[in-house]
Structure 1
């Protein structure tokens, strides 16, 4: 396995920081040369792609991942004699309507031998069949819909647990740890949000007192807030992304539904500072989110230090998972697996320690090791709360 290179030199860190600015899609984001440096085993222009939101309402999550991927690529390229790899962006804007075109661009680029992503479940449902038909391996650091692994796509892998793990854990956390017995469940009608919320509903059983559905992009939740009040709920679970989650939370608190009365819990799609921005720091205080992701500050090796040096900020949601997904692809390239077919076979048999977990997949592309954590908004930041027992 490729070692984690510590980029301690100020010049290297500064170069990475400058390269990180403004990488919102459309241009190569690799800081290394595209030309090979390992002779015949390294085709000129060999590339991996990042497929996810680099612009759009949920771009924070995609940028977090892309930064982790870029760090892995830059560290790989900095190694002596390394085959120089270019990182190419495929900006879906987190919109499954954009996914088909982006997937076709990726498979049509013969230099691209592997993909980190797709990042979101909705876009994965559209893009993954296209990647599978072309034999282009994709490793998602963040798409959690369980059904994605049930389609027979031999190119599908993910480095985190799915919502069949997160959903029951969230329900257990709400009713067990938090002691809530009247839970109002809302979803944003997306492939991801509704899928997760439905699992939570099932596992809550009689504690699920009322259900509702909103739309992605909706901004007025007054009717939902009134219904939450009328239901007598002592907790709300929202399945969806941070933009809508934050606005719903703000309008709940503005309507007088305090944290003491109705605890707010959401998911990994809301685990972003955008939740606090949308809700306001006061309204967001005390809210919880669950995530099948490792707290970034617990990543192994020098990852946290390297990431902070490169970008001037600590790693955020799925940065470390993005790094791990990219590392698998880069390890394969370093091992001479520079065709799509060879790299796919390499990924399927991969079994090495990453910064988040042991990286190994079953025959459906699911990781061998999973965990779910709760996080809480404290002092205007989302901080790790506890690992939820399975």
Structure 2
């Protein structure tokens, strides 16, 4: 079960295992810091460095949905980030680091203000995120201009890497891999002959669905578009029925995907439902109902959490009392890269950015190394299925 969504934005405290070291004098740059995050930054203001050259109040940001309809995904990532920071802080003589949250609710219209806050808070040395593609399109140009490195564990729109942003990195494959893999699974594994494709008009959902449409070719027999926040899908269900489709692909997030699936099943439409990583959450099962969700296929360029390397699964479960969720391991890897840089003494934005560009080391999900556009060198796409009300790994799909 995924950790429940946060109900209020607040700073993320370093866990009790962390021992705060004696403060050192703050770097002159940090003395001029201005701005903060929504809700303030109590921990970032009070924590001090614990190692030579460590700036007082050193922080990394997490940028994503911590509240709102898709907050489960953001909280999964946040937990992975916090775990990586806690483990770093627990090391002897570690430079103490806090996590500063930027709760975007997954909304692009929140991203500009939050991105500006992150840029102005010079205690923030790097960002994990933004988590969603739409908010990334807004915030990443601000980070690029300021030289603030961002590593996203979940934003998969391919175009994000084509903007020339030197501060942009991601630890998982983009939708140019997931889309063809999803289309292949639908036509080869499911052997569907007629596929109805729907998107939620978001930067992420439409972008992915358009790739699936293209790769399906003649197998695509119908199209539709819905809106985020929509609750009545009767016209869409009627279109699916009329098309005679034997599979549906939905590009978007779990809130609308679950309601659409419920209304399909309530109307007697038994067409196989296939969706994406944005819907890979127990919120899909909750919205649709376990019986209605049974047999749903979900594609994701993310590693099954139980296959993560090292002691990650045990450590995460011990810390949060639940197994890792979607993107928890990717969030851990993204934060671990930033922690490795800080451990290496890269405690300015410029130095940390250079460190990330040349990074090449194993993470818990894969070997972590980036090309000149910030894309990962190691890419995989998995199919998951809902069985007995649980999302379980089905098989790895060969990524193109």
How far apart are the structure 2 equivalents of 1:146 and 1:60? 23
Name 2:229's counterpart in structure 1.
217
Q: Report if the CA contact (8 A) 2:301-2:380 is conserved.
A: yes
Does 1:384 pair with 2:393? yes
When normalised by structure 1's length, the TM-score is 0.93
1:35 to 34, 43, 48: 48
Name 1:249's counterpart in structure 2.
261
Q: Report if the CA contact (8 A) 1:288-1:376 is conserved.
A: yes
2:304 to 288, 295, 309: 295
1:275 to 265, 284, 287: 284
Count of residue pairs brought into register by the alignment: 368
Matches for 1:96-111 after TM superposition, within 5 Å: 96-111=108-123
2:72 to 50, 60, 63: 60
Q: Report if the CA contact (8 A) 1:23-1:29 is conserved.
A: no
The Cα offsets for residues 75-129 of structure 1, whole Å up to 9 and x where unpaired, read as 1101111100011000000000000011011001010000000000000000000
How far apart are the structure 2 equivalents of 1:21 and 1:210? 35
User: Match of 1:51, SS?
Assistant: strand
1:178 to 190, 194, 202: 190
Give the drift of 1:313.
0.3
How far apart are the structure 1 equivalents of 2:255 and 2:14? 29
Unaligned runs of 5+ in 2: 21-46
How far apart are the structure 2 equivalents of 1:379 and 1:22? 27
Name 1:168's counterpart in structure 2.
180
Name 1:118's counterpart in structure 2.
130
Name 1:4's counterpart in structure 2.
none
Q: Report if the CA contact (8 A) 1:139-1:159 is conserved.
A: yes
How far apart are the structure 1 equivalents of 2:7 and 2:360? 31
Q: Report if the CA contact (8 A) 2:361-2:367 is conserved.
A: yes
Moved over 3 A (4+): 20-24
Name 1:10's counterpart in structure 2.
none
Matches for 1:343-362 after TM superposition, within 5 Å: 343-362=352-371
1:157 to 166, 169, 183: 169
Give the drift of 1:21.
9.6
Structure 2 CA distance for partners of 1:345 and 1:24, relative to 1, 3 Å: farther
Q: Report if the CA contact (8 A) 2:11-2:99 is conserved.
A: no
Give the drift of 1:28.
3.4
Q: Report if the CA contact (8 A) 2:6-2:71 is conserved.
A: no
Give the drift of 1:23.
8.0
Give the drift of 1:30.
2.7
How far apart are the structure 1 equivalents of 2:359 and 2:307? 23
Q: Report if the CA contact (8 A) 1:29-1:89 is conserved.
A: no
Does 1:240 pair with 2:252? yes
Name 1:90's counterpart in structure 2.
102
User: Match of 1:217, SS?
Assistant: coil
Unaligned runs of 5+ in 1: 1-16
Q: Report if the CA contact (8 A) 1:299-1:356 is conserved.
A: yes
Does 1:321 pair with 2:330? yes
The Cα offsets for residues 255-291 of structure 1, whole Å up to 9 and x where unpaired, read as 0012xxx100000000000000000001000001000
How far apart are the structure 1 equivalents of 2:365 and 2:167? 22
2:82 to 56, 70, 77: 70
User: Match of 1:189, SS?
Assistant: coil
Give the drift of 1:35.
1.1
Structure 2 CA distance for partners of 1:36 and 1:50, relative to 1, 3 Å: same
How far apart are the structure 2 equivalents of 1:263 and 1:144? 24
More off after superposition, 128-137 vs 26-35: 26-35
Matches for 1:336-347 after TM superposition, within 5 Å: 336-347=345-356
Name 2:340's counterpart in structure 1.
331
